[in-house]
């Protein structure tokens, strides 16, 4: 019996050991199988990403994609979409990040500026993959890929496609070879993307809801155990899917309980057999076996039962010296050590899972000012974080279980209820996955502008929604302030040019009637010099105020420049429309009124251009162009500072522009001619001088009058070059008369106000006299009263220096300007030239005669000589002699003539 026991006990213990080892091997093999399955899925996803990359790279090189031909691009993408059915859609995005062609319907370009993979492709110029996302219409998970379109190494667009995960479930079934194996694919947020068996874990729920921990949270790859909601203990392997932003994982798992139950069943069966045989043997040989085997075996049995019940610290402590029984005890202890180590590792994994769940809850609770709210399909709030309390004022205790309409303004409640019903009934989500801006309702009743991002998932047959909400009050206030600044003049607070243009376009679109005016202030230099810069600012502010007081509710006045205002006057009153000109003049009058500065009445010069709004032909651009033309005319007019636009003004401006271009060419090519008109001394009956007059032959048949091109030259800044040419040629011609013809003739040249005030004027006159060799006393500088008064100080300084050189000074067109007697006494002048307007009317007009007599007497009393211009008839000559004039100039003596004819004329007079 003892021998039987000695034989039976090792067999029994060996069976226990063998089954334990088998269990370990089964667990290891199951782990290896699960690892291979996970790796196969990861490899499959990687291969599909690479295949997608190759496909998009090929499409990016096709000319239909890169050519910009939307029709060809759409046809090609539709063919590709029909061929590659795994992909949800193919599209092309242009440089402005709009979808311009697609394999699916595309009524109009769609802006995708917030797509992370498209932005990454634009930023890096490389193939980009999106995180897993759920399709807006299908609700299924997809991957989106973008390949950049390059033009000379610059990203000018992307070609894109999305890969559905509907194939995953079918692929899972081909991967798993053993009964009971399961798999779940989830993203970094723990949201289920696919499962095997198909539907075992609904797509969209989080893995924490079904007891699967985040095994891949802290390691790239690993194994662990966990329990499902049913309490069933599972062993799983986690594999990380590479190349996907934010990460994605695959968990393959099988039931640990089923492996252990098989182990225990086999173990118990073997032990029962061994026990039966042992019992039978013991009955036959009870006596001899009891003393040697029964006690050690009993101990091993007790330890085996303790081990089976979970006491992994149980040890036999059998000495190796006990032979076979000792070796059996040692093996038992080794098995217990292995089980203890494995269990400790499983406990470590469980603690890691609990730590991940704690971290997730901490994130939820510490999201700062971001509200995270969840609700069910009945519209009741089921979760509420501290950020939500900050945004809406309700604490968690107050709001949980309450309807979401508590935080929705009344005007949105109807639409919210309809939208929730539609989602529950049809599953159609309109704003899921999008960010929208709307208003929320605070506990105290005021509305809060918020941005809302909404997500949805299902648990069983119920739908749930999560909203991430941010208070955008500060941003909205900033946008409002920026918008106000964009449409307001910072100094006066009046509307600015941008606002004016917007209102102008609106009124033109509505066929309104009225006028547009541009009002410019000038002549404030002396005011600033006298009263300071603040005076200028006060005048601008006060002008804007005066103009505003003339407005009706339909109109607007804006400050569009430093000293420039624009008026848009609109009226629906027929009486006002009939008197728009009078209304416009009213604006001019209030702007022209005096300003009170430190007790002094001050005036500024006001120029105003006006254009009436034509219902049929007006556009903003045309109106503003016409107004600027009218303003330009008003600024240059000597008769009126308020000008209504007419077509003739535009023609005149076109003519002026053309003349400026011709003038530049004429200056460059010296196309001008000098004519000379004799000046006759009434006392000596001799030719004593002449006036050099510039003439411009535009062609053999046409000459452009100086009265037309000289004012244009002055406005365009070309007068200096023309005057320089005139003085130079006049000096050279008079010098040649003296040297070649022995004609000592005084030559007069006209100088503009700009030239007279120029610091360079004296230098070039001196230079011309020296270069030509003309005696200075034969040069006479003719200036108008207006030119003289424009800059009295500079004019006086330059004229004195010219006079000191020996040249003479004459005031041209005397009697029509504004020179006072005090100035006349102090100016360094030699003669006065009476304007021809007085001479022409003198024979029949007593007033003109008296003016001439007054000028002659005044000049003679100051030691000045008098030349009368415009003497065209004999009676003019007789009258001027009688009135005491010294010299005459006019057609009666001779018309202006070329230099050669002038020489012959003078010689004939001798």
- pLDDT means per 10 residues, the chain with 910 residues, are 56 61 71 80 83 86 84 88 85 91 87 87 90 71 88 90 76 67 80 78 74 48 68 79 79 73 61 67 57 64 69 69 69 74 65 52 60 89 91 90 90 81 69 81 91 83 86 84 77 88 88 90 83 88 92 91 92 83 90 88 91 76 87 79 74 74 87 94 93 85 80 82 91 93 93 81 88 93 81 83 92 71 75 90 87 90 92 91 93 94 88
> Structural domain boundaries of the chain?
29-167, 366-477, 487-645, 662-909
Q: What is the CATH number of domain 487-645?
A: 3.30.70.270
pLDDT of residue 542: 93
Phi and psi angles of residue 100, each rounded to the nearest 5 degrees, phi first:
-105, -20
Which CATH superfamily, name and number, covers 662-909?
EAL domain (3.20.20.450)
Provide the strand spans (E) within 504-592: 513-522, 556-561, 564-571
Query: What span, in angstroms and rounded, lies between the C-alpha atoms of 343 and 336?
Result: 11
Q: Comparing 29-167 with 366-477, is the CATH topology the same? A: yes
Q: Is the dihedral of CA 86, 89, 94, 96 positive or negative?
A: negative
Measured at the CA of 188, the angle between CA 184 and CA 192, to 5 degrees, comes to 30
pTM score, two decimals? 0.42
By DSSP bridging, strand 642-644 and strand 605-612 are parallel
| Residue 203 near residue 193, CB atoms below 8 Å | yes
Tell me the three-class secondary structure of 404-473, residue by residue: HHHHCCHHHHHHHHHHHHHHHHHCCCCCECCEEEEEEECCCCCEEEEEEEEEEEEECCEEEEEEEEEECH
Pick the CATH number of 29-167 from 3.30.300.130, 3.30.450.20, 3.90.660.10, 3.40.50.300: 3.30.450.20
Tell which residue, 678, 806, 832, 812, has the closest CA to residue 747.
678
Q: Span 366-477: which CATH code?
A: 3.30.450.20
Q: What is the pLDDT of residues 175-233, one digit of tens each?
A: 766 667 788 888 777 788 888 777 677 887 877 665 565 444 433 457 777 666 667 77
- C-alpha closest to that of 556 among 600, 509, 521, 514: 514
């Amino acid at each position: 019996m003892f021998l039987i026991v000695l034989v039976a006990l090792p067999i029994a213990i060996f069976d226990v050991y063998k089954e334990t080892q088998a269990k370990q091997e089964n667990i290891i093999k199951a782990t290896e199988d699960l690892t291979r399955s996970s790796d196969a899925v990861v490899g499959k996803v990687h291969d599909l990403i690479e295949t997608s990359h190759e496909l998009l790279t090929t499409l990016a090189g096709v000319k239909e994609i890169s050519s910009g031909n939307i029709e060809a691009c759409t046809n090609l993408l539709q063919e590709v979409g029909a061929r590659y059915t795994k992909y949800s859609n193919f599209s092309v995005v242009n440089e402005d990040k709009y979808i311009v062609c697609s394999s699916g319907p595309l009524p109009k370009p769609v802006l995708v500026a917030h797509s992370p993979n498209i932005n990454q492709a634009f930023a890096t110029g490389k193939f980009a993959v999106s995180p897993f996302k759920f399709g807006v219409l299908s609700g299924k998970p997809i991957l989106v890929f973008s390949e950049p379109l390059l033009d000379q190494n610059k990203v000018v667009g992307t070609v894109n496609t999305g890969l559905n995960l509907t194939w995953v479930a079918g692929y899972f079934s081909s991967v798993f070879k053993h009964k009971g194996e399961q798999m779940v694919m989830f993203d970094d947020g723990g949201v289920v993307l696919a499962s095997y068996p198909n539907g075992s874990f609904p797509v969209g729920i989080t893995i924490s809801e079904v007891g699967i921990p985040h095994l891949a949270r802290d390691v790239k790859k690993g194994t662990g155990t966990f329990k499902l909601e049913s309490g069933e203990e599972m062993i799983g392997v986690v594999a990380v899917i590479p190349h996907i932003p934010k990460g994605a994982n695959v968990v393959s798992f099988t039931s640990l309980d089923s492996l252990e139950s098989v182990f225990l069943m086999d173990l118990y069966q073997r032990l029962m057999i061994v026990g039966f045989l042992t019992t039978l043997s013991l009955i036959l040989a009870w006596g001899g076996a009891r003393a040697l085997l029964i006690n050690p075996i009993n101990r091993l049995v007790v330890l085996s039962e303790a081990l089976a019940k979970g006491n992994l610290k149980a040890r036999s402590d059998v000495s190796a010296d006990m032979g076979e029984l000792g070796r059996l005890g040692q093996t038992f202890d080794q098995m217990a050590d292995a089980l203890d180590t494995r269990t400790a590792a499983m406990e470590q994994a469980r603690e890691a899972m609990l730590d991940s769940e704690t971290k997730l809850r901490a994130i939820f609770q510490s999201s700062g000012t971001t509200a995270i709210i969840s609700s069910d399909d009945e519209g009741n709030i089921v979760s509420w974080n501290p950020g939500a309390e900050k945004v809406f004022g309700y604490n968690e205790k107050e709001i949980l279980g309450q309807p979401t309409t508590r935080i929705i303004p009344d005007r949105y409640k109807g639409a919210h209820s309809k939208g929730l019903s539609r989602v529950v009934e049809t599953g159609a989500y309109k704003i899921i996955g999008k960010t929208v801006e709307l208003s929320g309702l605070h506990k105290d009743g005021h509305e809060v502008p918020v941005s809302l991002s909404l997500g949805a998932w299902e648990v069983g047959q119920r739908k749930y929604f999560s909203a991430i909400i941010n208070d955008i009050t500060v941003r909205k206030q900033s946008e409002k302030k920026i918008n106000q600044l964009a449409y307001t003049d910072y100094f006066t607070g009046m509307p600015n040019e941008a606002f004016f243009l917007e209102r102008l376009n609106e009124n033109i679109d509505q066929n309104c009637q009225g006028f547009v005016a541009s009002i410019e202030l000038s002549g404030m230099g002396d005011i600033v010099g006298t009263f300071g810069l603040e005076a200028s600012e006060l005048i601008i502010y006060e002008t804007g105020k005066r103009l505003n007081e003339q407005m009706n509710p339909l109109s607007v006045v804006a400050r569009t420049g430093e000293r420039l205002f624009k008026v848009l006057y609109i009226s629906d009153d027929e009486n006002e429309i009939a008197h728009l000109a009078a209304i416009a003049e009213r604006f001019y009058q209030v702007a022209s009124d005096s300003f009170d500065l430190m007790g002094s009445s001050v005036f500024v010069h006001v120029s105003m251009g006006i254009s009436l709004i034509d219902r049929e032909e007006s556009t903003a651009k045309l109106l503003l162009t016409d107004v600027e033309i009218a303003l330009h005319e008003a600024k240059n007019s000597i008769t009126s500072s308020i000008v209504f636009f007419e077509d003739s003004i535009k023609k005149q401006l076109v003519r002026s522009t053309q003349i400026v271009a011709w003038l530049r060419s004429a200056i460059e090519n010296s196309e001008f001619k000098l004519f000379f008109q004799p000046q006759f001394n009434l006392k000596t009956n001799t030719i004593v001088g002449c006036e050099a007059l510039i003439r411009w032959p535009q062609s053999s048949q046409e000459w452009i009058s100086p009265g037309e091109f000289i004012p244009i030259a002055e406005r365009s800044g070309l007068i200096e070059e023309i005057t320089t040419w005139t003085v130079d040629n006049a000096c050279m011609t008079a010098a040649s008369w003296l040297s070649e013809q022995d004609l000592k003739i005084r030559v007069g040249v006209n100088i503009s106000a700009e030239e007279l005030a120029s610091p360079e004027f004296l230098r070039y006159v001196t230079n011309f006299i020296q270069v030509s060799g003309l005696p200075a006393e034969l040069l006479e500088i003719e200036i108008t009263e207006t030119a003289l008064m424009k800059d009295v100080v500079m004019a006086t300084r330059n004229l004195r220096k010219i006079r000191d050189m020996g040249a003479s000074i004459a005031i041209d067109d005397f009697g029509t300007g504004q020179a006072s007697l005090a100035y006349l006494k102090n100016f360094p002048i030699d003669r006065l030239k009476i304007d021809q307007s007085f001479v022409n009317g003198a024979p029949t007009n007593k007033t003109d005669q008296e003016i001439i007599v007054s000028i002659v007497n005044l000049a003679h009393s100051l030691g000045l000589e008098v030349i009368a211009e415009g003497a065209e008839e004999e009676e003019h000559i007789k009258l001027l002699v009688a009135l005491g004039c010294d010299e005459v100039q006019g057609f009666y003596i001779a018309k202006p003539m070329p230099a050669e004819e002038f020489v012959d004329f003078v010689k004939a007079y001798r």
